[in-house]
Amino acid sequence: MDVAVLDRSAVSGNSHLHHAAPRTKLLAFALVLASIVVSTNLFIVLAVTFALLALIAAERLPARSMLPLAAYPALFAAVFAFASAPDALAAALIIAKAVTAALAAVTLMFTTPYPQVFAALQRVTPGLVGDALLMTYRAIFLLADKLADLTRAVRLRAGLSGAHPIRSAKATTRALGGLLLYSLDLSQREYDVLVLRGYSGRLKVAERPSTSPRTDRALIAGAVAILLTAALWRVYWISFIDYSWMPLAFALLCLAAALLLRRRNR
């Protein structure tokens, strides 16, 4: 995954979400995240997932780049769930939570230039933490790229064939060391440039004002509704449990409508 694709989408996209104020999007993101965190009902979490998918479809965001990114956490959540969840439903919940949280994050990052997001984050985190968060974010993409190169190289050279498991394990760990140093140099240079150009631990940006206040209001309303739903089913789950399918059905309807509308407009 190239960070350039993400940047390009964040900057040159033209959806309603792109027009909303970064501040609003961050708040909405936090609300959605909170609703995923409090939710213990698979159906509710899935409802949030499909609501987000509906949003992505309706806004014509580059789903092809976004979905693999959001699905990546599913991979490890699946193994985690396999190892620790007591049953299939709990496992599904673990995976759904991971994917939905990632989907929300990806939607935010694909519609908001990263300096806007990190400038806001750094305002509320202690100095070094905000600084480290920014570099970690950049480093994740950098590592992902290099890791892909690396596995290819290891496969080509030593082979993970299993014929020489020890030798291939050795090659892999040595490659891991190389990866560490290589990425360190890259990120060091990136940081050098930031410092040379005036960065001192806090990104400063000109806050983008909203160019569509209606979108801002709709976003917040939607996020609050999601959080309320999640909270309701969490607190009064005994009375609501039988109706868990309703939010999910509603979200699915939204997704269907978005897809239909999209096809008709095409």
Partner 1 sequence: MSHIHIPDGVLPVWLWLGGWLVALALVWLASSRSGSVDVRRKVPLVGIISALVLVSMSSEIVPLAYHINLTVIAGVLLGPQLAIISAFVVQIVLALLGHGGVTVIGLNTLMTMTEMLLGWGLFRALIAMLGRKRVRGASAMATVVTLAITTTLLVGLVAVSGVTGATARETGALDASNLTFASPFSDGIIGVGLFSGGEQAHEPEPGVGLSRFAAIVYTLGPLGWLLEALVTSAVLGYVARVRPSLIFAGALAPAERIIPGDEAIR
Partner 2 sequence: MSHTHTDHIHPDDPTAEEIVRISCVRHTYEDGTSVHLCGLDFLAHRGKRVAVLGPNGAGKTTMLYHILGLLKPQEGAVEVFGVSPSEEWSSIRRRVGVVLQNVDEQIISPTVGDDVAFSPRQYGLPEAEVRERVERVLGLLGITELADRVPHNLSGGEKRKVALAGALVMDPELLVLDEPFEGLDPTSRQGLLDLLERLSRERGMTVVLSTHDIDTVPEFADYAYILAPGGTIALRGTPAEVFANAPVLARGNIKPPILAELFTRLRELDPTAPVTALTVDEAADALDAWKKC
Q: How far is the CB of 263 from partner 1 (least distance, A)?
A: 32
The listed partner (partner 2, partner 1, none) that binds 204, CB under 5 to 8 Å by sort, is: partner 2
Q: How far is the CB of 12 from partner 2 (least distance, A)?
A: 6
Asked if 78 contacts 98 with a C-beta cutoff of 8 angstroms, the reply is no
The listed partner (partner 2, partner 1, none) that binds 19, CB under 5 to 8 Å by sort, is: none
Residue 108 exposure: Cα atoms within 13 Å on the Cβ side: 23
Q: Is 253 in the site for partner 1 (CB under 8 A)?
A: no
Pick 80 or 199: Cβ nearer partner 2? 199
Q: Is 207 in the site for partner 1 (CB under 8 A)?
A: no
Please list, in sequence order, all residues whose beta carbon lies within 8 angstroms of the beta carbon of residue 11, skipping any fewer than 6 positions away: 113
Question: Where do we find the tokens 């570099």?
Answer: 135
Pick 243 or 257: Cβ nearer partner 1? 243
Pick 8 or 146: Cβ nearer partner 2? 8
Q: Is 205 in the site for partner 2 (CB under 8 A)?
A: yes
Residue 116 exposure: Cα atoms within 13 Å on the Cβ side: 23
Q: How far is the CB of 67 from partner 1 (least distance, A)?
A: 16
User: What is the pattern of x (binds partner 1, CB under 8 A) and - over residues 9-28?
Assistant: --------------------
Give dist(CA 35, CA 30) in Å, integer.
9
Q: How far is the CB of 100 from partner 1 (least distance, A)?
A: 8
The listed partner (partner 2, partner 1, none) that binds 79, CB under 5 to 8 Å by sort, is: partner 1
Q: Torsion over CA of 191, 197, 203 and 209, rounded to 10 degrees?
A: -140
210: left (phi over 0), alpha (psi -120 to 50) or beta: beta
Q: Is 37 in the site for partner 1 (CB under 8 A)?
A: yes
Token pair of 72, please? 């990546």
Q: How far is the CB of 212 from partner 1 (least distance, A)?
A: 27
Other C-beta atoms within 10 Å of 140: how many? 12
Q: Is 131 in the site for partner 1 (CB under 8 A)?
A: yes
Name residues contacting partner 2, limited to 206-235 (CB under 8 A): 206
Give dist(CA 209, CA 198) in Å, integer.
24
Give dist(CA 62, CA 4) in Å, integer.
13
Residue among 133, 143, 137 nearest 183 (CA)? 143
Q: Is 211 in the site for partner 1 (CB under 8 A)?
A: no
Interface residue list for partner 2 (CB under 8 A): 4, 7-8, 10-12, 113-115, 186, 189-190, 192-200, 203-206
